[in-house]
């Protein structure tokens, strides 16, 4: 999947609609992935993201130690893999291999990006004040990539209890928001 | 719109898909509303929500003072009002009147709920540690309401720059997430 660099000022538009994302990290034993829905934009530029990663997740300890990850935005084409990644643990599974996902090199962090995702955000942890109480990490997006050939990516959205919907059509009739 | 009480344990499924919401508050001069997309679930039960509300918004000062709000989840039927609320300020507009929205009584907070929204979450601010640095409020949902007649609510999702999409169909083929 050919990707090009994406302006940091436009990153918020990728995450505001609330897609399920996959967080990739580079642990001591190799690359790892988790599936995540609890995230929010916190600042436009540089883009800041707040996200909750349970301390029970393998990713939690890797992220705490390495302070780096990639937020990868998948589309419906790989929905089964996204769910599979969410239902397994990196403690006993190499998820890149198990789900046939391709780790690719990033530019500014050590964590790999997931090639099959249409957008990838290289992130550094910049604030851990709420990690111990809420498992809440604050990330800064330092570099963003997008598959610009994908004009209308159908992102995946969790509705709870393992039910998912895909993003729908654009509402064309609305006036612009400031 | 007839609503019934909704279990707090199921609230996360309403917000995880990333809908645009409207935050209603009760200021000194009357009820107010703002439109918001920067929110995330932080805990299942009691449900906790983290959200960014710019200090430039009128709602910021009301929420800081009253520590109470309602998170209202609109559907595409009132998309124009949602955008209108987002493009105006409560400093000079009574938005309930201007956009023909109906403030209704809540049970555990002073802020009104918006009748026309299919779900309403009565919230109390429980943590303000990141308000000064990131405008980030942590809310606890103390009571939830839903219009249970609406089986497949089409929520609104912001894609940046005033472009919106509606939630799409459910993906039926996936195995359950734990």
> Which residues are CB-contacts of A28 (< 8 A; sequence separation ≥ 6)?
none
Average pLDDT score, chain B: 95
Whether residue B46 has a cis bond before it, omega within 30° of 0? yes
Cβ-based contacts of A169 with chain B (< 8 Å)? 165-166, 168
Instruction: Answer yes or no: do A160 and B51 touch at CB < 8 A.
Output: no
Q: Tell me whether B60 touches chain A (CB under 8 Å).
A: no
Q: What percentage of residues in chain B have a pLDDT greater than 90?
A: 93
Which residue from A35, A165, A168 is facing B171, i.e. has the nearest CB?
A165
pLDDT at B110 over 90: yes
3-state secondary structure of B39: strand
For residue B2, the model assigns a pLDDT of 85
Minimal C-alpha gap between A172 and chain B (Å): 8
Question: Among all residues of chain B, which has the CA nearest to that of A43?
Answer: B134
Write out pLDDT tens, residues B40-79: 999 999 999 999 999 999 999 999 999 999 999 999 999 9
Copy the structure tokens of residue B63: 């929420």
d(CA A62, CA A136): 14
Note the pLDDT tens digit of each residue in B73-91.
Answer: 999 999 999 999 999 999 9
For residue A175, what pLDDT is reported? 62
Among B117, B98, B89, which residue's Cα sits nearest to residue B22?
A: B117
Structure tokens at B36: 């918001």
For the domain spanning A4-166, the CATH number is 2.30.110.10
CA-based nearest distance B1→chain A, Å: 22
Q: Is A135 or B174 the better-scoring residue by pLDDT?
A: A135
Q: What's residue B175's pLDDT?
A: 62
Nearest to B165 among A17, A50, A87 (CB): A17
Q: Whole-angstrom Cα distance, residue B39 to residue B14?
A: 12
A100 touches chain B (CB under 8 A): no
Strands (E), B9-52: 21-27, 30-36, 39-43, 48-52
> What's the whole-number mean pLDDT along residues B151-168?
94
Q: Structure tokens of B84?
A: 């209108």
Residue A33: predicted pLDDT: 98
Q: Per DSSP, what are the bridge partners of residue B125?
A: B139
Residue B120's pLDDT is 97
Q: For the residues B140-147, what does the mean pLDDT come to? A: 97
Identify the CA nearest to B140 among candidates B45, B73, B5: B45
Q: Cβ of B134 under 8 Å from any chain A Cβ? A: yes
Characterize B156-166 residue by residue with b for buried, 16 or more Cβ atoms within 10 angstroms of its Cβ, and e for exposed.
bbbbbeebbbb
Q: Answer whether residue B5 shows pLDDT above 70.
A: yes
Judge: B168–A169 Cβ closer than 8 Å, yes or no.
yes
What pTM, to 2 d.p., does this model score? 0.95
Identify the segments of chain A with pLDDT beneath 70. 175-178
């Amino acid at each position: 999947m050919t990707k090009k660099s994406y302006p940091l000022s436009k990153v918020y538009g990728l995450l505001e609609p609330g897609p399920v994302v996959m967080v990739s990290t580079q642990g001591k034993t190799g690359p790892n992935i988790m599936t995540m829905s609890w995230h929010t934009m916190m600042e436009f530029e540089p883009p800041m993201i707040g996200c909750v990663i349970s301390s029970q997740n393998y990713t939690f300890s890797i992220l705490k130690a390495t302070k780096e990850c990639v937020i990868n935005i998948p589309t419906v084409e790989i929905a089964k893999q996204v769910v599979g990644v969410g239902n397994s643990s990196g403690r006993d599974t190499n998820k890149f291999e198990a789900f046939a996902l391709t780790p690719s090199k990033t530019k500014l962090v050590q964590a790999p990006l997931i090639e099959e995702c249409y957008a990838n955000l290289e992130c550094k942890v910049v604030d851990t004040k709420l990690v111990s109480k809420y498992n809440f990490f604050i990330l800064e997006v330092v570099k963003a990539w997008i598959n610009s050939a994908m004009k209308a990516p159908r992102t995946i959205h969790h509705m709870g209890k393992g039910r998912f919907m895909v993003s729908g059509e654009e509402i064309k009739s609305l006036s612009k928001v400031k």
